[in-house]
Amino acid sequence: MFTHFIAYDSGIAQKQMQIFLKDVLLQLLTPEEKSTFINTIIDRFLAVPNDMISQKSIVQALLNIEVSANELMLYLQKGLCLNASDED
């Protein structure tokens, strides 16, 4: 559903699916299931460049369904092999 209605769609359909996902579907998941779902989306759409979608749109969608900015930053930090203690 995320792939079809959010990643590859836009406009009102995308906005309505984000609301449905946030208010209905994610409420039915356990914290572990929700984390797995979010990580799967991040791995699929943000790990590598994709000419078919806007990664900015994916980040915005994740923020709209209330994935914390901190969670996204931790993923990017881990994916880029950056540590907060790394210094040049």
With 80 as the cut, is the pLDDT of residue 76 above it? no
Domain of 47, in residue numbers: 2-79
Q: C-alpha 11: how far from its chain's center?
A: 18
Greater confidence, 39 or 30? 30
Structurally, how many domains does the chain consist of?
Answer: 1
**52 found inside a domain:** yes
Residue 47: C-alpha distances to residues 15, 20, 25, 76, 87 (Å): 23, 25, 24, 8, 24
Do the Cβ atoms of 7 and 14 come closer than 8 Å? no
Q: Out of 28-32, 47-51, 80-84, pick the least confident.
A: 80-84
- What amino acid is encoded at 7 in this protein? A
Query: pLDDT by residue (tens digit) across 7-28?
Result: 888 889 899 999 999 999 999 9
| pTM metric for this prediction | 0.75
**87 found inside a domain:** no
